[in-house]
Copies of this chain bind each other. A is one copy, B any other.
Amino acid sequence: MEVKNFRWYMEFFTPYEAHMRGLKGVLASEQSPYQHIEVVETFQYGRCLLLDGKMQSTEADEFIYHEALVHPAATVHPEPKRVCLVGGGEGAAMRELYKHPSVEHITMIDIDRRVIELCAKHLPEWNAGTYRDKRTRLVHQDARKWLQDHKKEKWDLIFVDLTEPIEEGPSFLLFTQEFYKLAAERMTPNGIIVTQAGWTNPTDLTCFGAIYQTMKKAFPIVRPYEANVPGFDNPWGFCLASKRPDPREFSAERVDRVLQNRGVKRLRWYDGITHVGIQHMAKHLRVAIEAEKRTIEDKRPLYMPS
């Protein structure tokens, strides 16, 4: 392999696993009050957003991650109007949400204003103008506290699009049973919440399993699923929880019909067949998360290695 490049981004996932990507350039790099934010350009994956050195999205496959986060929930909800997005500063989740014409309002709570500003500048296709959409409200506060304080606001959809909880940061309180119960209180009767749930690498399924088990304590319906996001170097897990709508009741045809009726266009990853596929996760994942004993509480949080 002819290696000519000399600038690299190196991400350690564990003390024993690292991935290196050749960098064409660095578009932005700054320390915000909350984290180190970088927008880099790679040879293989195009532009990428990194937070504290962890890959958040890449130009080449952010469509997979963001469609997987948003559309299964948005499609099975009968008519999503009010959406709360925790994190997701790239704006790409909003871009996907506004493809559903019923959406009347999105509140995005991202504590770090600079993420949004830098993404708006350097990754404009990812937010596609949605920051300036009149239906959008941006909130730069701690999401848990904001949801607690805003008791009257109810949500059809809530998305938790955060880096995994680590010891130093506040985000670990957005993965606990207490948080899911608060979310349930703030959701409408057909409300659905989706969280990214860490990798689905079989060498350690604790995070995926614990989020699944914790959500089960707060919601009657919990549907874990997986998507391949090669920019993360690992397949990735999501957990959808709902008060009533159930993705398993949607055949491929039904999903395609909903999308067509709503006029949802320009989907690259999601359609009826994809929907059915992700409802049929591989056996070892199902077995592992059902067997997981760990749940996550405010006083017993789950930390990922930082």
Residues of chain A touching chain B, judged by Cβ–Cβ distance below 8 Å, are 1-12, 14-23, 25-26, 29, 38, 40, 42-45, 50, 53, 60-61, 63-64, 199-203, 226-228, 230, 233-235, 252, 267-271, 273-284, 286-287, 305-306
Contact = CB atoms under 8 A, between A and B. Distances in A.
Contacts of A64: 202, 282, 284
Given A7-B10, A64-B202, A201-B230, 10 more contacts: A6-B12, A7-B7, A8-B10, A14-B44, A17-B44, A228-B228, A228-B282, A274-B282, A274-B283, A277-B281
Given A53-B4, A228-B228, A22 B15 contact: yes
A134 B1 CA distance: 42
B18 A44 contact: no
Given A7-B9, A226-B228, A228-B226, A276 B280 contact: yes
Residues of A contacting B: mostly: mixed
Copies in the complex: 4
Nearest to A30: B25
Contacts of A21: 16-17
A203 B15 contact: no
5 contacts: A1-B4, A1-B15, A15-B22, A19-B20, A202-B230
A11 B3 CA distance: 10
A6 B10 contact: yes
A63 to B, nearest CB: 7
A283 B305 contact: no
B268 A283 contact: yes
A300 B29 CA distance: 39
B45 A203 contact: yes
A280 B284 CA distance: 18
A133 B42 CA distance: 41
Contacts of A1: 2-4, 12, 14-15, 305-306
B29 A25 contact: yes
The CB with the most chain B CB atoms within 10 A, among A1, A21, A63, A234, is that of A1
Contacts of A234: 230
B273 A283 contact: yes
A8 B11 contact: no
B269 A280 contact: no
Contacts of A226: 228
B280 A252 contact: yes
A244 B233 CA distance: 37
B8 A9 contact: yes
Complex A-B, nearest 8 residue pairs according to Cβ-Cβ distance, in ascending order: A277-B280, A6-B53, A16-B22, A16-B43, A228-B235, A1-B12, A18-B20, A276-B280
Contacts of A25: 26, 29
The CB with the most chain B CB atoms within 10 A, among A22, A26, A230, is that of A230
